[in-house]
Structure 1
């Protein structure tokens, strides 16, 4: 089961830094701090002052200390709610 992690408001020990981003913006390599992130999880990232974007973790490598990690992420649009 996947978990969603909110990284829209970076703080000490809970943040993401982009290392590389594909030209189309759909994949990226990031370095992050925060516990509990695993492959298949979703990361909610800020996209401008009021918008957010969702990415899925496709590859993860743990680092030291234990809350540090490197990841390959891919754009994962949210599913739209069915019309009533």
Structure 2
């Protein structure tokens, strides 16, 4: 079971993550939505498509754009459509 943890809080946990380029992508139904706030940030990947971001908020502490996902993907990235990955100090561990 993989867990995404920040500020001593489990943000997501799943045994069905998909690993791409060293990042664990968590299924959308595995995240604890109360800690996620939509961000206006977007980036582009040549083979995955346009990423959207979440700011993580735990006990009033924010980690801006610490999670990303692809609401729509290019063909090669279809398996991770809607899945969420983490960075910026979020620990992903078994």
TM-score, normalised to structure 1, is 0.30
Structure label with greater radius of gyration: 1
TM-score, normalised to structure 2, is 0.28
Greater share of residues in helix: 2
